[in-house]
Amino acid sequence: MIDGYRIWATLERFVNHSCKPNCEIQKWNVNGVYRMAVVLRDIESGEELCYDYNFHSYNMNSQQDCMCGSENCRGVIGGRTQRSNGHVKEKVTPLRPVGRPPKDKRKSNNKLKKFREKQKQAQETIAATFPVIKPISNKERTMARKYSIFLVRNLDKVRQLRTRGPMTECDKEESEEVVKSTACKKRDVFITQLTALKTSRSVKTRRLALAEENSELNQTARLAQILHQILKNLVASKGEDGKELASFLTLPSKKKHPEYYTVIEKPIDFHVIEKHISQGKYTDLKEFDTDINLLFKNAERYCGKTSWVGNLIIKLRQVYIGSKTEVLPLLEDVLGETVQSLVSEADSYDFQDEKDEEDEEEVIRCVCGIFRDEGLMIQCEKCFIWQHCDCMKVKGDVENYLCELCNPRPVSKEIIADPQPEDGTPGWTYYMTLMRDELQVRVGDCVYVLRDVPMSKDISVDSMKTSYKLVQEIGHDKLEIFRIERLWKDGNQNKFAFGHNFYHPHETFHEPSRKFFPNEVFRMPLYEMIPLETIIGSCCVMDLNTYCKGRPKVMRDQDIFVCEYRLDKTAHLFYKISKHPYAINTKSYCFDKFPQRLNPKRTYSPHEVPEAYKTKIRPEKQILDSSSALRKKKRLSLKGKAKDPKVLQQEEEQYQKMEAKKVKEKKNRLDRIMLKMLSTVHTKQRIDLSYLLDCKRQSKKPHTLDV
Ligand SMILES: C[S@@+](CC[C@H](N)C(=O)[O-])C[C@H]1O[C@@H](n2cnc3c(N)ncnc32)[C@H](O)[C@@H]1O
């Protein structure tokens, strides 16, 4: 550990940065564990060791000044390859290790070379086949990515090039007009709404108006475009006979089929949904989802699940899920992070649940405690539960097999992994489960791990330093969450686990505006090896979909965490986890499903805004309010001593003057502090904090302080 940010690090943490270093940091893979090595050049006696941090600078405006004193000092620590204030820093040749470059470097260099060659070849082929299309500008590219315009436009172009040769001017105008007219059609409704809203908002500031336009209307309009696309896919999907599947799903005439309207409480069809989209009714995917599912359910209810319409609905559902997944990146762009769960909602509930019900009777209960249907399984003749043959040390062909409860016998709860990992260390035995006293820990489990317990002087036994036996003195908030990926006993029968950590939100680097679930954690790619002694207890980290469905039995609520993202090594960047390893069994014998799926919302925790700041009372007013309360108190205490009303009025006026003077003094002091702060900020990079004064502006004349 060379980063002392989270836990106590090793000696290497004291190595300072230099722009002209005499060491470098290399990453080595030692038995599957990453190690950082400080590799030295020839060092003079007494020479200070230093290496080039080359940090990725998180905040380009507040980089740390470098004091290495070397000739080519870059002035700041790190950011060698980054742009700083618009300039690329001078490139410094890094110190190269002697001999062959590390394996991964060689590989990536080769890959890059191959990729460039392939790219060149592809470009040559394209140039030979088609006339060259003028490359699009950066601005166009950004817009094209955002709205997928590029794809449509170029697809048309390429198609035309293939069929009829180059596009004529006339063709161009035609295709542009089609794109323009559809875009206009979609936008018109919202522009009308926008104008209506603008007129009713004339009292508000322009900035506020802009913000509202961006966050609400713009979002709805962009969402509408995507929903149109999904609906278009649904309506256009065809069955085996070539007929459009959706053509059977239009609402019947009320006169001809009045019975339909007595059976179906909320009739809906694709035309209604399209109308809702065009009117901007859908502000999130959930509302749209509800309507589409209602349409499917109505059809199933009226015609029956097993009818030909029922079969048609199954196909349409698949098209629907496929279309949603296709536009997922666009949806994420418009709606934010929680889209994945919404997209997977329909499939998870409608299909998975049915499947679960079918398999419900097949109960797995094995000594390993793992509820996974894997390897050869055997069923108890008496209680009908299934067990893993490997765990029970039986072969699949045993007749009249009875589990350890129906036929009581001693069984080991430490299950050896079969086969042993190929890259395992010779002399070590790898396990699927191991016992830490009474606690059974399994590969795939999440556990609380105790780390670096400050040792009190009277504890003389060294092994107690990080033992679970000290947990009562530590408190659960000091524990780390750890996913076990390997378990083994070394040659001396010491037990170890290998796996990775999860970070809590406060341990990550994130924008202040990022929201979190209260029990959200993030998967870290830092792997480590821990003695089993350091494991305190079990917990459970779930993917969002399963988290919304229910809870594993025998797991306390406070030990449940939800994880949707993994972090990079620096804990700076968040990546969505597409496939979660170690899926949780959601069958009823080991999982309690909620009657209704949860819909958790992310909040600003752990950056909760103190209550006092949430109220709209301005600090000034608060001071005045509290002082008037004091005065009232005073007056009450003087009750009984009659005073001349004139004297009272004079006193009141005097008091008000004093208060006003105090407020003025405070204001002056604040101005002085702000001006002082301002003088420390680099002139070119001033930060505009004027928005902080917005609430003042609404009631008073504009503030002129340029912060
Ligand atoms: C890993 S620590 C190095 C050890 C640190 N000097 C100490 O005594 O604990 C990194 C910190 O040391 C300081 N530092 C290291 N190299 C520096 C340099 N060239 N110029 C200025 N500060 C430096 C910075 O404060 C930096 O955040």
pLDDT tens readout for residues 417-476: 988 888 888 999 999 999 988 889 999 999 998 765 544 444 444 444 455 555 554 555
The first and second tokens of residue 565, run together, are 């993202």
Residues 505 and 433 in one domain: yes
User: Is 223 domain-assigned?
Assistant: yes
Q: What is the mean pLDDT of residues 87-95?
A: 37
Residues ≥6 apart with Cβ < 8 Å to 678: 686, 707
| Residue to mutate, 76, 77, 80, 92, ligand 1, most ligand atoms under 8 Å from C-beta | 77
The predicted pLDDT at position 469 comes to 57
Residues 92 and 216 in one domain: no
SS3 16: strand
If one compares 705 and 466, the residue with the highest pLDDT of the two is 466
C-alpha span between 371 and 387 (Å, rounded): 9
Residue 288 lies in a domain: yes
With a 6 Å cutoff on the Cβ, whether 231 touches ligand 1 is no
Residues 588 and 684 reside in one and the same domain = no
Q: Other C-beta atoms within 10 Å of 619: how many?
A: 11
Q: Is the CB of 17 under 6 A from ligand 1?
A: yes
Residue 251 pLDDT > 60: yes
Contacts of 501 (CB under 8 A, 6+ apart): 480, 481, 482, 483, 524, 526, 528
pLDDT at 155 over 50: yes
Cα three-residue angle 524-530-531, rounded to 5 degrees: 160
Regarding the beta carbon of 70 and ligand 1, being less than 6 Å apart is answered no
CATH number of the domain to which 231 belongs: 1.20.920.10
| Cα 94 to ligand 1 centre (Å) | 20
Query: What is the pLDDT, as a whole number, of residue 164?
Result: 55
- Residues 671-681: what's their mean pLDDT? 83
Task: Give 643's pLDDT tier (boundaries 50, 70, 90).
Answer: low
- Are 355 and 330 in contact by the 8 Å Cβ rule? The answer is no
175-179, 508-512, 555-559, 658-662, range with the lowest pLDDT: 175-179
Residue nearest to atom 11 of ligand 1 (CA): 16
Tokens of residue 552, six digits: 């594993």
Cα 17 to ligand 1 centroid, rounded to whole Å: 6
Lowest mean pLDDT among 208-212, 297-301, 356-360, 361-365: 208-212
Cβ proximity of 403 and 383 under 8 Å? yes
Separation of CA 168 and ligand 1 centre (Å): 64
Q: Whose CA is nearest to atom 8 of ligand 1?
A: 14
Q: Whose CA is nearest to atom 1 of ligand 1?
A: 13
Nearest to 337 by CA among 596, 572, 601: 601
29: CA distance to ligand 1 center in Å?
27
Please choose from 13, 15, 16, 19 the residue to mutate so as to test ligand 1's pocket, defined by most ligand atoms within 8 A of CB: 16
pLDDT for the residue 694: 55
Inter-residue contact 75 to 65 (CB < 8 Å)? yes
Kindly state the DSSP code that residue 7 receives in the 8-state scheme: S
Mean pLDDT to the nearest integer, 208-224 = 61
Share of the chain above pLDDT 90, in %: 13
Same-domain check for residues 215 and 285: yes
Query: Which of 106-115, 429-438, 564-573, 589-598 is predicted with the least confidence, judged by mean pLDDT?
Result: 106-115
What gap in Å lies between CA 688 and CA 686, rounded to an integer?
Answer: 6
Q: Do 580 and 657 have their domain in common?
A: no
On the question of pLDDT at 624 being above 70, the answer is no
Predicted local confidence at residue 652, as pLDDT: 83
Same domain flag for 352 and 501: no
Q: What percent of the chain has pLDDT over 70?
A: 61
Question: What ipTM is given for this predicted complex?
Answer: 0.97
3-state secondary structure of 650: helix
Q: How far apart are CA 400 and CA 569, in angstroms?
A: 53
- Reply yes or no on whether the pLDDT at 146 is more than 70: yes
Do residues 452 and 495 share a domain?
A: yes
Helices (H), 201-267: 206-212, 219-236, 258-263
Cα 16 to middle of ligand 1, angstroms: 5
Cβ atoms of residues 3 and 397 within 8 Å: no
Classify 383 as helix, strand or coil: coil
Give 633 or 316, the one with higher predicted confidence.
316
Which of 230, 194, 191, 192 shows the shortest CA–CA distance to 212? 194
| Helix residue spans in 59-168 (DSSP H) | 103-129, 138-147, 149-164
Peptide bond into 606 cis (omega under 30): yes
Identify whether the C-beta of residue 390 lies closer than 8 Å to the C-beta of residue 397: no
Question: Which of 541, 558, 536 is CA-nearest to residue 449?
Answer: 536
Question: In angstroms, rounded to a whole number, what is the distance separating the alpha carbons of residues 655 and 662?
Answer: 11
Residue 149 has pLDDT above 90, yes or no: no
pLDDT in tens, 356-378: 444 455 788 899 988 888 788 88
Instruction: Give the end of a domain, one of 98, 114, 137.
Output: 98
Please report whether residue 111 resides in a domain.
Answer: no
Is residue 427 domain-shared with residue 318, that is, in the same domain? no
Residue 491 lies in a domain: yes
Of the candidates 406, 434, 575, the one whose C-alpha atom is nearest the C-alpha of residue 498 is 434
Q: What is the mean pLDDT of residues 52-66?
A: 70
Q: What is the CATH number of the domain that holds 80?
A: 2.170.270.10
6-56: per-residue pLDDT in tens?
Answer: 566 678 888 898 989 999 888 888 877 778 888 888 899 999 999 988 766
Query: Residue 104: which pLDDT band, with cuts at 50, 70 and 90?
Result: very low
Question: Nearest-CA neighbor of 446 among 533, 375, 536, 371?
Answer: 536
CB-CB contact of 448 with 479 (8 Å): yes
User: How many angstroms does the Cα of residue 527 sit away from the middle of ligand 1?
Assistant: 26
* Residues 212 and 281 placed together within one structural domain of the fold: yes
- How far is it, in rounded angstroms, from Cα 325 to Cα 229? 12
Residue nearest to atom 9 of ligand 1 (CA): 14
Look at residues 356, 382, 399 and tell me which one is the last residue of a structural domain. 356
Q: For strands 439-442 and 560-562, give the pairing.
A: unpaired
The pLDDT of residue 132 is 47
Distance CA 249, CA 271 (A): 10
Query: Are 684 and 573 contained in the same domain?
Result: no
**Is 310 among the domain residues?**
yes
As a three-state string, the secondary structure of 552-592 is: ECCCCHHHEEECCEEECCCCCCEEECCCCCCCCCCCCCCEE
Going by pLDDT thresholds of 50, 70 and 90, the confidence category of residue 632 is low
- Strands 83-84, 87-88: pairing kind: antiparallel
**Residue 68 CB–ligand 1 contact under 6 Å:** yes
**Over 70: is that where the pLDDT of 90 sits?**
no
Which ligand 1 atom is the nearest neighbour of the CA of 50? 16
Which residue range(s) make up the domain with 275? 208-356
The answer to the question of residue 403 being in a domain is no
Ligand 1 centroid from CA 450, angstroms? 29
Backbone angles phi, psi at 403, to 5 degrees: -75, 175
CA–centroid distance, residue 41 to ligand 1 (Å): 20
Regarding whether 652 and 503 lie in a shared domain, the answer is no
**Domain for residue 369, yes or no?**
no
Please give the tally of structural domains in the chain: 4
pLDDT of residue 22: 92
Residue 542's pLDDT is 94
- Residue 3 included in any domain: no
Dist. CA 356–CA 351, nearest whole Å = 9
Name the most confidently modeled range: 202-206, 322-326, 703-707: 322-326
Residue 19 CA: which ligand 1 atom is closest? Answer: 19
**Contacts (Cβ under 8 Å, ≥6 apart) of 492:** none
Mean model confidence pLDDT for the chain: 73
Q: List the single range of 3-17, 392-406, 583-597 with lowest mean pLDDT.
A: 3-17
Q: Which amino acid is at 347?
A: D
> Which of 293 and 632 is assigned the larger pLDDT?
293
Tokens (6 digits) for 680: 């420390």
233 pocket-lining for ligand 1 (C-beta < 6 Å): no
CATH number at residue 529: 2.30.30.490
Element spanning 485, H or E? strand 480-489
The domain boundary, picked from 59, 76, 98, lies at: 98
Judgement on whether residues 574 and 621 belong to the same structural domain of the protein: no
